[in-house]
Amino acid sequence: MIAFADCQDVRKMTVIREINCPACGDRDGIEVFERENQTVGDSVCDKCGYTIPEGVVLDLFLEDNVPGDVCSK
């Protein structure tokens, strides 16, 4: 019998992404943790304080929120 890894294991994995801050442009300034395509915990730029909130789809959030927007700070 062949044992397959539980497909849920892959979904539960946390991925760490370093992105450039959309507000100040700091290279790899924000470390974002993602699980199941959503952010885990708030991610904050050390340089300017720009915050990506918990529970959002990162790419959609970055497309929809312009730096300086009330929801993104």
- The CATH number given to whatever domain includes residue 45 is 2.20.25
The answer to the question of residue 68 being in a domain is: no
The answer to the question of residue 71 being in a domain is: no
Q: Environment class of residue 5 by beta-carbon count within 10 Å: exposed (0-12), middle (13-18) or buried (19+)?
A: exposed
Task: Find, among 14, 63, 24, the residue nearest to 47 by Cα.
Answer: 24
Q: How confident is the model at residue 3 (pLDDT cuts 50, 70, 90)?
A: low
Structural tokens at position 18 = 């370093």
**Residue 18 predicted with pLDDT over 50:** yes
Q: Environment class of residue 18 by beta-carbon count within 10 Å: exposed (0-12), middle (13-18) or buried (19+)?
A: exposed
**Residue 2 predicted with pLDDT over 90:** no
Q: How confident is the model at residue 12 (pLDDT cuts 50, 70, 90)?
A: confident
Residue 40 is predicted with a pLDDT of: 96
Spell out the residues 6+ positions from residue 2 whose beta carbon is closer than 8 angstroms to its own: none
Number of domains in the chain: 1
Residue 65 is predicted with a pLDDT of: 83
The answer to the question of residue 73 being in a domain is: no
The residue range of the domain holding 44 is 7-63
**Residue 1 predicted with pLDDT over 60:** no
